[in-house]
């Protein structure tokens, strides 16, 4: 299956995200993942939450539950464990969302605890204000590609910790979008990436994610450049709207109403109509 980048759609979506750039923050604050992170920060404090949240992000792939449920489970665990490393270890050992490849995930947690947690303990919030440096520490410490999905996702979740703490620090614009199922789905339904089929969106999204994640990163990097919105912020919009599109089985008006409900209510319908129209099939 050959995938191609549609440069006309890149221009259209770049202009659209620029037009609605003010909605990015609304989507971030509505993101269930941000709500879960905020709850963890309130319970165990910023430094411990930083460790637990980033460590969890590094093993958040091939989940057995929806992403929203996965992060709220971590928040639930934070009621019992106030130490970030202990919270992370217990969660990865026991969470039903991580039942596949648990041994591999625990090995990564061990590397994270040994190589990266001491740096976090030493530098504390300065790393939350310098997410580019955190990105470098993560991919070098784990000896993986800088664009690896879990690495860039961990940077996004660290940004959420900073946001929950009220710390000022801009998202780096040169860090790639985390390529997961929903981002691939919306990449196809929006037409920014095309193939020869026009159905079975979910199956094709999985094929795209596994075979050609680089074209997805390229597409949304170009949209980010045009819109001046960091790719990681665009990811939040795609992830939430993509969830609505999938939940609504690709029905237009249902997807709009679902997205509006996420960010505040029916008053946002007009604002979201054009956005969802360009992201849906």
245 has pLDDT over 70:
yes
Domain match, 64 and 84 both:
yes
Among candidate residues 127, 281, 103, 87, the one with its CA nearest the CA of residue 190? 281
The CATH number for 182's domain is: 1.10.1670
- Give the pLDDT confidence score for residue 196 in this predicted structure: 81
Residue 191 has pLDDT above 80, yes or no: yes
Q: Are residues 66 and 158 in the same domain?
A: yes
193 and 267 housed in the same domain = yes
Pick the last residue of a domain from 97, 130, 165: 165
Q: What is the residue-averaged pLDDT of the chain?
A: 94
Residues 117 and 200 in one domain: no
Q: Are both 160 and 34 inside the same structural domain?
A: yes
Residue 125's pLDDT is 94
* Residue 92 belongs to domain spanning: 30-165
Work out the average pLDDT over 6-23.
95
Same domain, 59 and 108: yes
pLDDT value at position 53?
A: 98
267: pLDDT confidence band, cut at 50, 70 and 90? low
Residue 170: what pLDDT?
77
pLDDT at 266 over 60: no
Rounded CA-CA distance 36/73 in Å is 9
Mean pLDDT of 110-128: 97
CATH code of 134's domain: 1.10.340.30
96 — pLDDT class (breaks 50, 70, 90): very high
Given 111, 136, 165, the domain boundary residue is: 165
Q: What is the pLDDT of residue 271?
A: 75
Shared domain for 41 and 161, answered yes or no, is yes
Confidence of residue 164 (pLDDT cuts 50, 70, 90): very high
Predicted structure pTM score: 0.95
What percent of the chain shows pLDDT beyond 90? 85
**Tokens of residue 236, six digits:** 């939040």
Same domain, 212 and 157: no
Mean pLDDT of 83-105: 98
Return the pLDDT at 270. Answer: 75
* Domain boundary residue, one of 165, 193, 223: 165
pLDDT at 251: 92
Same domain, 43 and 128: yes
% of the chain at pLDDT higher than 70:
98
Alpha helices per DSSP H over the chain: 7-19, 23-30, 32-44, 46-57, 67-77, 84-94, 102-111, 117-123, 125-128, 131-142, 149-165, 181-189, 201-211, 213-227, 231-247, 252-263, 269-279
pLDDT tens digits for range 53-91: 999 999 999 999 999 999 999 999 999 999 999 999 999
User: What's the pLDDT score for residue 149?
Assistant: 96
One domain, residues 195 and 98: no
Q: Please, what's the largest Cα pairwise distance for the chain?
A: 52
- Answer whether residue 142 shows pLDDT above 90: yes
CB 4 within 8 A of CB 197: no
What average pLDDT does this structure show over 98-122? 98
Provide mean pLDDT across the span 218-244: 96
Cβ-based neighbours of 212, under 8 Å, separated by 6 or more? 3
Same domain, 180 and 128: no
Whether residues 39 and 152 share a domain: the answer is yes
Instruction: Tell me how many domains the chain contains.
Output: 2
């Amino acid at each position: 299956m050959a995938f191609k980048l549609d440069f006309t759609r890149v221009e259209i979506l770049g202009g659209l995200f620029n037009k609605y750039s003010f909605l990015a923050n609304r989507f971030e604050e509505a993101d269930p993942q941000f709500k879960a992170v905020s709850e963890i920060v309130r319970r165990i404090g910023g430094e411990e939450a930083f460790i637990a949240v980033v460590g969890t992000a590094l093993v958040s792939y091939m989940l057995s539950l929806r992403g929203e449920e996965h992060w709220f489970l971590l928040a639930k665990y934070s009621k019992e464990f106030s130490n970030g490393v202990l919270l992370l270890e217990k969660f990865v050992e026991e969470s039903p969302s991580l039942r596949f490849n648990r041994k591999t995930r625990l090995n990564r947690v061990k590397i994270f605890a040994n190589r990266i947690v001491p740096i976090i303990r030493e530098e504390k919030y300065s790393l939350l204000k310098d997410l580019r440096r955190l990105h470098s520490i993560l991919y070098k410490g784990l000896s993986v590609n800088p664009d690896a999905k879990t690495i860039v996702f961990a940077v996004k979740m660290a940004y959420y910790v900073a946001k929950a703490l009220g710390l000022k620090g801009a998202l780096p614009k040169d860090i790639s979008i985390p390529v997961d199922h929903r981002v691939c789905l919306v990449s196809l339904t929006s037409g920014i990436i095309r193939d020869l089929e026009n159905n079975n969106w979910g199956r094709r999204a999985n094929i795209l994610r596994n075979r050609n994640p680089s074209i997805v990163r390229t597409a949304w990097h170009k949209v980010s450049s045009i819109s001046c919105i960091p790719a990681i912020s665009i990811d939040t919009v795609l992830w939430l709207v993509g969830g609505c599109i999938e939940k609504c089985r690709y029905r237009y008006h249902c997807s709009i109403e679902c997205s509006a409900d996420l960010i505040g209510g029916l008053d946002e319908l007009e604002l979201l109509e054009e956005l969802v129209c360009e992201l849906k099939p």
